[in-house]
Structure 1
Amino acid sequence: MNVDIQLQGMTTGRYAEIISIEIRKVFSGDDVRICDGLISAAGKLAAEVSAALTCLSPSDLRAIGDMRSEMAELAAQFVRAVASEASGQCLPDAAGAPAGKPEALTFLSPAPGEHRGDLESMVLEDWAGRVAGATYLHEKMRIPRSTLHRWYRRKEVVALRKGPQRHVFPLAQFVDGRPASGIREVLNHIEHPRLAWFWLVQPSSLLEGRAPIQLLRQDMVSDVVSAARDYSKSL
Structure 2
Amino acid sequence: MTKSFDFGNEPRQDEFSCLVAKEVQRVLAQFAEVMKGGSSISLHMGKGRAADLLSATHQQTIHDDLTALASEFVRRLAAEAARRCDATARETAPRTAHTEGAHGCAVLKVRDQQSDSQRIEDWAGAVAGPTYLEDHFGIPRSTLHWWQRHNDVVALRKGARKHVFPLAQFIDGRPAPGIRQVLSLIANPRPAWIWLTSPSPRLDGRIPIEMLRQDLAAEVIQAARDFSST
Structure showing greater radius of gyration is: 2
TM-score (ref. length: structure 1): 0.47
The structure, 1 or 2, with the larger RCO (C-alpha pairs under 8 Å, 6+ apart) is: 1
User: Whose helix proportion is higher, 1 or 2?
Assistant: 2
